[in-house]
Amino acid sequence: MEEKRQFLCGVVEGFYGRPWSMDQRKVLFQWMQHWGLNTYLYGPKDDLKHRLLWREVYSPEEEGQLRTLIVEAQSRGLRFVYALSPGQDIVFSSSCDLTLLKRKLRQVSDLGCQAFAILFDDIDHSMCQADSEAFSSFAHAQVTVTNEIYRFLGEPPVFLFCPTEYCGSLCSPSVSKSPYLQTVGEDLLPSITVIWTGSKVISRKLSVDCLAEVESVLQRPPLIWDNLHANDYDSRRLFLGPFKGRDPQLKSHLRGLLLNPNCEFEANYIPLHTLGSWYRAGNEDRKDEECEYSPDRALATALRDWMEELNQPLQAGRQSTRADQRSSAPASHGKTPDTPSCPSTFRGTSAVAKLPVFPLNSSSPPPSPTKVKVERVEGEKKRSIQPSQPNHQLPGSRPGAPSGGNRGQKAQGRGLCGGKGLLSESQVQLLVGLHYLPHEHGPSAQKLLQELTWLKTNCHLVSANNKKAPPQKVDEWHGRASRFLSLCEDIAQLHCSVVGGANRAVLYDLYPYVWDLRNTALVAKAFICWLDGRVFSDSSTLGSWRNCFHWCGKTTGADLLGVESEPWVFKGGVSGEVQMLLPVGSSSELFTHPPPLFPTSRLYNIRPYHSKDKVELYRMVRQLHLRTQGGQESSAAHPDVIGDRCLGPCLALCPEYCFILEDELGVCGCVLGILDVRSFAKRCQASWMPAMRDKYPSKGSNTHPNTQDLIQLMEEDQGEYPDSLLYHFPSQLRLDALPELVDISVSRTLLTALLTALKANGSQGVFCEVQPTDRQRLEFLTKLGFLEILRGEARSREGVVLGRLL
């Protein structure tokens, strides 16, 4: 009886995606014991023999692992609950299926398990003909089988039942009037506990009133399967915030509460730490604890403890786990909710591996994280003296090009970020604030979104054609812009510190998220820098982008959806909201892409072009040209001729649409844009080409023969494009970068920054001409939504024109 009365509080491993490893679960049990939690429910949706192949018994090897897990949990004073999900294809009236169900649970019982759960979540309500003839309703069928299994197992003290209607929003027509729940309440044996998630699949708050209603219908206090920190429904979201929105007084109305946390094991330190604080709050036998639970106080305590964990080298057991776990992981895929969610919150059935640590074709991982780190850092250092492997080249760059002459120098104001170091307390607070809770952003995320919203809404103060703005308002804009840029730099530094940290387990679980937000912040930072003096105000006929996204400027995702909406309706979390505040925010293919196989701590920055960059850019494209073209060096007499052809017109006539990519060593790439190709071509003929003819005269002793060939190509570059093309795609872009980039994803980010600027000033479409043999660049642009619109028609020479609507 004592065991039946104990409040069950702990963890449910019930998400979709790669299950935790045995070593991770052992660490989990250590945490739970230390924090006073008492129950672990085993029910990972992607364990085939838990759900899809529930009829199959475990092999001798699997039996051994499960027995070890059960013994480990019991040795820590934890209750191990084994869950089975037969609902997808069970025939309730089939004696054969019932026998197989009993066989499976008897096998687990013989391994020492004394607590069980039968889950009927995420399944179709319809029954087969045989079941329809045997049972009066779907609920009747489930209850009948559950009662028989419960008796077969000897009426264990802990036996859980998850209904198909497991939250208020799934009940028809309502909780109190649901025939399904009424049948469960009346016919399910009273000692069986019913699982419930609250008013929603992911409930922002749990109230006494709502629980009293469901308790009345079920005729027993429910057990909460809490999805507050579950993230298996959105590949861009992670929840590091405290356990919140559940008053400890709810315990008197519940049988228990089990938290279904993040898929990424290492992300669950704070959620479970604070859950332990919540559980202990108010316990009569814990006079040393605070009587009332405070999420903020619990978070502060958990942060202090997590700091020690974050800055500890990875322990041997967890180290080997991560290597084995991810070396064969599939490439990252997005997770799309397309079927009704179960308590796990993910609404599909595909496994998701966020970040493979080693190359996908690697049969075995390197022997230690230290070696991986050394190899990675050395690979980055080599960039200034030799090119990287072809698969690390930036699309559009040219193989084998050496680095620029002063590439070894640090970029001004930026330092190297390499080697293992300690995450500071402010960085951990920033990390948690950016990945807080599904219905609530942390302080740093709120600040980021508020500043970006205000700067965007008031960008007319610094627009290119607004000379009447009050000086104090302009100063305010610049001050807030400075704070926003500083926060973006903190995010970039956080990414660097996570990669360079000592705890590699934390790195590989958190890296996809800090990397994604780093890239989004790079675009946002470049955009805010670009707005100052470059964006057109509303008086311009082109300045219409803000009208298309006016709702983003006034609300956050949670406000937009309302507190009653499920968080998966608005994708992307903080990254998604920053993205939607940008002019091209609806183009998700520009922002969602897999992280690199090898994490890199290199710091990148994207910013508008300055005139001082011209020398370095000219040197960069000259080297790229010479390495790919070979032959005689025509630039010996005229070192600027390649730069003048490739970059010169844009840098001279529309520098406001040129963006620079730089890292700690200096400039490493650029993207150039032309807002209106028609007017640009006229300006080239009127001013640029005459200047080039004067600079490179046709006669003279210093004129190299190949120079005139290049000048002729300059003339051809100004050839006309068809009106049918320019009507839909009035803008043009050119992408160049050095091939030694370690993280090739920054090329996407660089291009996105330009598309954001073009869209902001009214462009409806952009095109890029590519040679048919440049397959790498063709593939790169295609992945970003560019489609082939012309081939061999735009110029006298062969070329493929790819276009993209904005």
Q: How far apart are CA 655 and CA 683, in angstroms?
A: 14
Cβ–Cβ under 8 Å, residues 30 and 278:
no
% of the chain exceeding 70 in pLDDT: 77
pLDDT at residue 378 in the model: 34
| Residue numbers annotated as active site | 122
pLDDT at residue 439 in the model: 92
pLDDT by residue (tens digit) across 312-338? Answer: 886 533 643 333 333 333 333 333 333
List, in order, residues 6 or more apart from 674 with CB less than 8 Å away: 650, 654, 657, 680, 731, 732, 733
Cβ–Cβ under 8 Å, residues 742 and 380:
yes
pLDDT at residue 410 in the model: 43
Q: In degrees, to the nearest 5, what angle opens at C-alpha 680 toward C-alphas 677 and 684?
A: 135
Residues facing 788 on adjacent strands: 802
Q: How many CB atoms lie within 10 A of CB 628?
A: 12
Q: How many CB atoms lie within 10 A of CB 486?
A: 11
Q: Which amino acid is at 765?
A: G
pLDDT at residue 536 in the model: 79
Q: How far apart are CA 567 and CA 581, in angstroms?
A: 18
pLDDT at residue 500 in the model: 86
Q: Is the pLDDT of residue 204 over 70?
A: yes
pLDDT at residue 463 in the model: 87
Q: Is the pLDDT of residue 163 over 90?
A: yes
Q: In degrees, to the nearest 5, what angle opens at C-alpha 801 toward C-alphas 798 and 806?
A: 170
Ranked by mean pLDDT, the top range of 373-377, 442-446, 554-558 is: 442-446
Q: Is the pLDDT of residue 139 over 70?
A: yes
DSSP assignments along 683-742, one per residue: HIIIIIHHHHHHHS-SSSTT--HHHHHHHHHHHHHTPPPPHHHHHH--EEEEEEE-TT-S
Per DSSP, the three-state class of 340 is: coil
Backbone angles phi, psi at 718, to 5 degrees: -90, 15
Give residue 545's pLDDT band: very low, low, confident or very high (50, 70, 90): very low
Question: What is the pTM (predicted TM-score) of this model?
Answer: 0.83
Q: Is the pLDDT of residue 642 over 70?
A: yes
H-type helices in 262-337, by residue range?
269-280, 295-310, 316-327
Residues facing 672 on adjacent strands: 658, 734
Q: Which DSSP letter does residue 219 get?
A: T
Please tell me the least confidently modeled range out of 105-109, 268-272, 383-387, 695-699.
383-387
Residue found under tokens 């490439």: 331
> What does the pLDDT average to over 508-523?
93
Residues facing 12 on adjacent strands: 41
Q: Is cis: bond before 173, omega within 30 of 0? A: yes
Alpha-carbon 477 to chain mean position: 30
Q: Is the pLDDT of residue 636 over 80?
A: no
pLDDT at residue 718 in the model: 66
Q: Is the pLDDT of residue 381 over 80?
A: no
Ranked by mean pLDDT, the top range of 367-381, 548-562, 671-685 is: 671-685
List, in order, residues 6 or more apart from 699 with CB less than 8 Å away: none
Cβ–Cβ under 8 Å, residues 160 and 83:
yes
Average pLDDT, rounded, for the chain: 80
pLDDT by residue (tens digit) across 558-602? Answer: 555 454 678 877 788 999 999 999 998 888 888 887 888 878 888
Please tell me the least confidently modeled range out of 212-221, 234-243, 392-401, 536-545.
392-401
Q: Which DSSP letter does residue 257 get?
A: E
The two tokens of residue 683 are: 């300006």
Give residue 699's pLDDT band: very low, low, confident or very high (50, 70, 90): low
Q: Is the pLDDT of residue 794 over 70?
A: no
